[in-house]
Amino acid sequence: MLLKLTLNSLYARLLTVGMTVFAISLSLMLYMSVEKLRTSAYTSFTDTISQTDLIVGARTSSVQLLLYSVFRIGNATNNITWESYEDVIDRKEVAWSVPISLGDSHKGFRVMGTNNEFFKRYKFRGGQSIELEKGNNLDDLYDVIIGAGVAEKLNYSVETPLIVSHGLQSFSDHDDQPFRVSGILAKTGTPVDNTVIVSLEAIEAIHVDWSTGAKIPGQLTPVEEIRQMDLSPKNITAALIGVNSKLQIFQLQRWINEYPEESLSSILPGVALQELWRIVGVVENLLLGISVTVIFTTLIGMTAIIFSSLNERRREMAIWRAMGASPKVVIGLLMLEAFIISVMSIIVSTVMLFLTLYVLQPWIDNTYGILVNIETLAVKDIYIFMLFILSASLVSLIPAIRAYWFSINDGMTIKI
Amino acid sequence: MEKSNLNEKTIQINSVKFHWSNKSKFKLHIPELSVVKGEKVLLLGESGSGKTTLLSLICGFLAPLSGNIQLNEKLINNLSATKRDQYRSDNIGIIFQQFNLLPYANVIDNILLPLYFSKLRSANVSDQRETAISICQSLRLPEDVVNMKASELSVGQQQRVAVARALIGNPPLVIADEPTSSLDTDAQNIFLDLMFSQVASSNSTLLMVSHDKSLSSKFDRVIDMKNVSVKEQ
């Protein structure tokens, strides 16, 4: 009967209660959205590269190696020789490898030299492969494949001609050797989207007349002649390595780090990503802070709303008391009401969140490269909901105790 | 007036004192007041004379600062607040000045509300819904109102539902706080007749508060607050 009458009472105040539920639902939805973005940003970040066991580069810190080899941020301290690379990949532990060569750019986008193995081996978001959305692989020496972000921002399509600039902020172009867009990659939400990919041989080709590190004045080797040259790479910037057995990762890593011919570093991408995330984690903490603040605000808001409805319900409380309801019942009624309001708010906010995410997910993914998971609620969300219901019921004790004192003082005199 | 036992007191008050705070000008002091079982008593008094405070003390909403209040020969002022609540629920039916029905609940749920809190009164009712309907019929409430919400009833209907709620489960004492104040004379008479017949059939004692002296003739006894309370400053 108590539950039935409480539900009837809530129904009788449909407009007020409805607005309360809506306000709390919006706050809860904001909390869940922030949490979803926070966890999705983390997942998208740590899933930038997956299924690669080691990244090898010149001796440097793990974060720096990760930054330039995966995120194309900053520069390599040094290159590694092709001989060293071959020594590494000749090890029995190595199952596959992808060499990459960095250093040049195109209109602010980094140019990366690699081979077609890159498209087969580079995985992201827990094992997704990069796919060509349009065009073909690198078949010709002067073919480039561009990421979705490059195509979109520069408005390039297949067959668009392209000139690679020397270095990152150089006024010198390799304009004697124009490239052609042979393919455009599908959106990945990773730095690949903003990368211009050429073959390792192409990197060698455009530097034929740059043997001293700068363009040799008056020297211009014809393209047809270059095509006949041996363009085998002599140096690379880094290499992605996959091993036959996960148990061999540390063994291979130690061997690489102790390689006597050249100073090399090998890092575990997962560990380095975690380290890097800790550096940028201040943003995560900020989002976490926002989430906690939102929940607190919601609870305070709900208490205020129950408080403001107390006058409206003073007569009701007096009736309950007159009929013999103990203080426990009066307090229990308001706690039950807070419980029902919080459960309704959770249901409404969850429905609103999933509808909103369903509509916005493609846009968030395309714009920010963050894939927001809309399939399920996280276990943590369930715990937060339970904690919210418990907290809501507890904070409703404050107005409930006030209501109890009202009902004692009102006694027979209630004439509202 | 027919009484089973003239010595059986439903209410016995001795040397009760109450005030809200030491600074309060209003101080209630009742040396002695008693109501015998089955009596219909009218408590008369002007506004501010302490009638409602006295009812609150009898109902156990308030506890006296000193003195004794006995209901059915049980001392209630020594009971804890929770036990007083339970005692009120088991033994007193209350009719408020403004009826105070739950507006969102239907007539039946309003009438049955006291039974939810009192096992004793609940035990007196074999079929709760049928009993509620039967009381409604005795109070000449139309049959179709029993499922209506209290907020949809007329003032007269609300009054009768309030009486039905006070009488369900046959509480030994019914307390009514100026229930006729908003009625004209004809309506007052009809209402009082209905209430008296129901109180009699429940074998309950009635203590009704009013400032309307013209009602005096309808009651077994009239107690004037002026005569029972001692003014203290």
Q: What is the pLDDT of residues B94-104, one digit of tens each?
A: 988 777 888 88
More reliable by pLDDT, A328 or A19: A19
| CB proximity B114 to A under 8 Å | yes
Average pLDDT over residues B126-155: 88
Containing domain of residue B111, as a range?
9-228
- Chain B residue numbers touching A325 (CB-CB < 8 A): 85, 89, 117
List, in order, residues 6 or more apart from B202 with CB less than 8 Å away: B167, B170, B171, B174
Sign of the alpha-carbon dihedral angle for A297, A303, A308, A313:
positive
Judge whether B47 lies within some domain. yes
DSSP B213: G
Q: Which residues in A lie closer than 8 A to residue B101 (C-beta atoms)?
A: 319
Please choose, from the candidates A349, A415, A412, A361, the residue with its C-alpha nearest in 3D space to the C-alpha of residue A23.
A349
Which residue of chain B has the CA closest to A313?
A: B102
H/E segment holding residue B136 = helix B128-138
Whether A319 sits inside 8 A of B100 (CB atoms) is yes
> Whats the size of chain A, residue-wise?
416
Assess if residue B4 is contained within a domain: no
In a domain, B38, yes or no: yes
CA closest to B100 among chain A residues = A319
Round to whole Å and give the CA distance between B27 and B49: 10
Q: Nearest Cα to A343, choosing from A57, A9, A20, A81?
A: A20
Report which DSSP code applies to A164.
P
Please give the residue that has the higher pLDDT: either A83 or A280.
A83
Residue B204 is part of a domain; what is its CATH number?
A: 3.40.50.300
In a domain, B25, yes or no: yes
Tally C-beta pairs within 8 A across A and B.
82
> What is the C-alpha to C-alpha distance for residues B107 and B145, in angstroms, rounded to an integer?
7
In a domain, B139, yes or no: yes
Residue B164 has pLDDT above 80, yes or no: yes
- CB contacts of B165 in chain A (<8 Å) are 323
Look at residue B2 and tell me if it is in a domain.
Answer: no
Strands (E), A155-229: 161-162, 179-185, 195-199
Output the CA angle A128-A132-A133, nearest 5 degrees: 105
Residues B202 and A150: their CA atoms lie apart, in Å, by 90
Which long-range CB contacts under 8 A does B146-150 form with residues at least 24 apart?
A: B146/B106, B146/B107, B146/B108, B147/B106, B147/B107, B147/B108, B148/B106, B148/B107, B149/B103, B149/B104, B149/B105, B149/B106, B149/B107, B150/B101, B150/B102, B150/B103, B150/B104, B150/B105, B150/B106, B150/B107, B150/B110
Q: Which helix (H) or strand (E) holds B162?
A: helix B155-167
Q: How many CB atoms lie within 10 A of CB A121?
A: 20
A181 — pLDDT class (breaks 50, 70, 90) = very high
Backbone phi and psi for residue B109, each to the nearest 5 degrees, phi listed first: -65, -35
Closest CA to A58 of A237, A295, A296, A300: A237
The answer to whether the beta carbons of residues A304 and A403 sit under 8 Å apart is no
- Chain B residues whose CB is inside 8 A of the A322 CB are 59, 61, 88, 94, 96, 100
- Would strands A161-162 and A179-185 be described as parallel, antiparallel, or unpaired? antiparallel
Closest-CA residue of A relative to B167 is A323
C-beta atoms of A414 and B117 within 8 A: no
Q: Is B181 on the interface with A (CB under 8 A)?
A: no
Set of chain B residues whose Cβ sits within 8 Å of the Cβ of A411: 52, 56, 59, 61-62
Q: In chain A, what residues touch B62 (CB-CB under 8 Å)?
A: 411
Percent of chain B with pLDDT over 90: 27
CA atoms of B53 and B57, how far apart (whole Å): 6
Res. A244 pLDDT band, cuts 50 70 90? very high
Nearest-CA neighbor of B72 among B32, B35, B125, B120? B35
Tokens of A63: 């974060």
Nearest CA in chain B to A12: B104
- Among A309, A314, A319, A415, most B C-beta atoms within 10 A, so best to mutate, is A319
H/E element holding A240?
strand A238-243
Q: Does the beta-carbon distance from A324 to B88 stay under 8 Å?
A: yes
Q: ipTM of this model? A: 0.79
Inter-chain touch B102–A329, beta carbons under 8 Å: no
Closest CA to A134 of A145, A150, A119: A145
Give the pLDDT band (50/70/90) at residue A311: low
Q: Which residues of A touch B (CB under 8 A)?
A: 1-2, 4-5, 8-9, 11-12, 315-316, 318-319, 321-329, 408, 411-415
Give the 3-state secondary structure of residue B169: coil
**Tally of domains within chain B:** 1
Mean pLDDT across chain A = 85
Kind of pairing, strands A128-129 and B74-75?
Answer: unpaired
Residue of chain B nearest A328, judged by CA positions: B82
Confirm or reject contact between B101 and chain A (CB < 8 A).
yes
pLDDT tens-place string over residues A142-177: 999 999 999 999 999 999 999 999 887 666 888 888
The terminus-to-terminus CA distance of chain B in angstroms comes to 38
| Chain B residues touching A326 at Cβ < 8 A | 82, 85-86
Q: Looking at the partner chain, which of A2, A318, A408 has a beta carbon nearest the beta carbon of B100?
A: A318
**CA A375 remoteness from chain centre:** 16
B56 and chain A: CB distance < 8 Å anywhere?
A: yes
Q: Could you read off the pLDDT of B41-100 as tens digits, one per residue?
A: 999 988 888 888 888 899 888 889 999 999 988 898 888 888 888 898 999 999 887 778
Question: How far apart (Å, rounded) are the C-alpha atoms in residues A292 and A287?
Answer: 9
The torsion angles phi and psi of B192, rounded to 5 degrees, stand at -65, -40
Work out the pLDDT band at B4, boundaries 50, 70, 90.
very low
Q: Which residue of B has its CA nearest to A416?
A: B98
**Tens digits of residue pLDDT in A353-385:** 889 988 988 888 777 767 777 777 778 888 888
CA distances from B211 to A253, B206, B216 (A): 99, 16, 10
Of residues A4, A315, A325, nearest to B85 (C-beta): A325
Burial zone of B38 (CB within 10 Å; 0-12 exposed, 13-18 middle, 19+ buried): buried
Task: Supply the pLDDT for residue B191.
Answer: 82
Domain membership of residue B13 (yes or no) is yes
pLDDT at B2 over 60: no
Q: Is residue A147 within 8 Å of residue A193, measured between CB atoms?
A: yes
Degrees (nearest 5) of the Cα angle A55, A59, A64? 65
Contacts with B151 from chain A: Cβ below 8 Å: 12
Does B53 map to a domain? yes
Mutate one of A7, A317, A323 to test the B interface: name it (highest B CB count within 10 A).
Answer: A323
Q: Would you put residue A108 in left (φ > 0), alpha (ψ -120 to 50) or beta? A: left
Q: Give the gap in angstroms from C-alpha B79 to the nearest C-alpha of chain A.
A: 13
Centre a 10 Å sphere on the Cβ of residue A255 and count the other Cβ atoms it contains.
Answer: 16
B97 touches chain A (CB under 8 A): yes
CA–CA dist A303, A399 (Å, integer):
7
